Amino acid sequence: MNNIIVGFDFSTGSANAVDLTIDLANRWQSDIRLVYVKSENEDEAPIRAEIERRNAGVAHLLKGIKLEYVIREGKVAEQLTNQAIEDQALMIVVGTNGMSGYEKNWVGKNTYRTITDSPVPVLSVREGFDFSKDLERIIVPLDSTTETRQKVPFATRMAKTFGATVHLLGLYTSDSKDIKGLVNGYVDQVEKYLDKYEVKHVTEFVDAKKNLTVTTLEYADKVNADLIVIMTEQEKALTSWLIGNYAQQMLHLSKHPILSIRPEQIGSQSR
């Protein structure tokens, strides 16, 4: 179906996620499937009534696309990813609340589990993010892993959709000439790729030996980033950053929207 899944739980964060999804879906001419995951004994009738009321309130924003909803029961991450599989969705969008990272429904384990289980990229956005501003600056961190380049096609699509500039951030995680050579080579390849698709880009290399997450977020703050695109598996060689921790730390600490892509998520959805 090539639609966009958006998680919804009546929170301000998830309502903002719906607004952002409408903007993106209008640009892609993709339909939207709003997913509410209820508990076992939760009454569906008031849920449906409120969702339909809210959907009617944003109907005027839809430009030739449909906003539909489904109520599922079970674990949040499992039901979101199942819906994405059934719909052959382009991506999942979830809104997160607060900055502490683990108290609210869509923050922490649910968001992270959605990202790690999802068959498609997941865009997570904080409640406090300024949704009225244009998406102008996209951060694409590049390290020495082979997988690091796999996020580039989807980042390119986002950049072309919004006319944004891609900020390539070369992350040196070691003083090794071999590691730096790999990073330099990957950045060079990505620059050529972006040139091919006529996407504006700038490049900066930074020392990230101490902490990948902090280094990435400091740069994002410096350039006032609107989106950071990451892989869920990053720098496997660093014993202090085991697989998945980079993505989890980014979700926990970032005030910027995060687009998370698993290495195997390369295919037609990224074109």
The full DSSP string for 214-244 is: HHHHHHHHHTT-SEEEEESS--TT-TTS-TT
Nearest Cα residue to 250 out of 200, 215, 222: 215
* Banded model confidence at residue 240, pLDDT cuts 50, 70, 90: very low
DSSP string, 99-112: SSSSSSTTSTHHHH
Residue 269: per-residue pLDDT: 44
Residue 1: per-residue pLDDT: 65
**Token pair 């839809």: residue:** 62
**pLDDT tens figures, 81-98:** 999 999 999 999 998 763
The whole-model pTM stands at 0.87
Q: Sign of torsion, CA 205 185 194 231?
A: negative
Amino acid in position 261? I
Please check whether residue 156 is in contact with residue 201, taking contact to mean a CB–CB distance below 8 angstroms. Answer: no
**pLDDT tens figures, 200-219:** 999 999 998 878 888 999 99
| Complete edge-to-edge strand list for the sheet that includes strand 258-261 | 67-73, 32-38, 4-7, 91-96, 122-126, 258-261, 227-231, 137-142, 165-172, 201-207
% of the chain surpassing 70 pLDDT: 85
Cα–Cα distance for residue pair 187/226, rounded to 1 Å: 21
Residue 264: per-residue pLDDT: 67
Residue 100: per-residue pLDDT: 35
pLDDT average, residue stretch 58-65: 96
Residue spans of beta strands (DSSP E) within 114-183: 122-126, 137-142, 165-172
At residue 156, what are phi and psi to the nearest 5 degrees? -65, -45
Sorted by where each starts, the structural domains of the chain and their CATH numbers stand as 4-126 (3.40.50.620), 137-270 (3.40.50.620)
Q: Residue 237 is encoded by which pair of tokens?
A: 């060689």
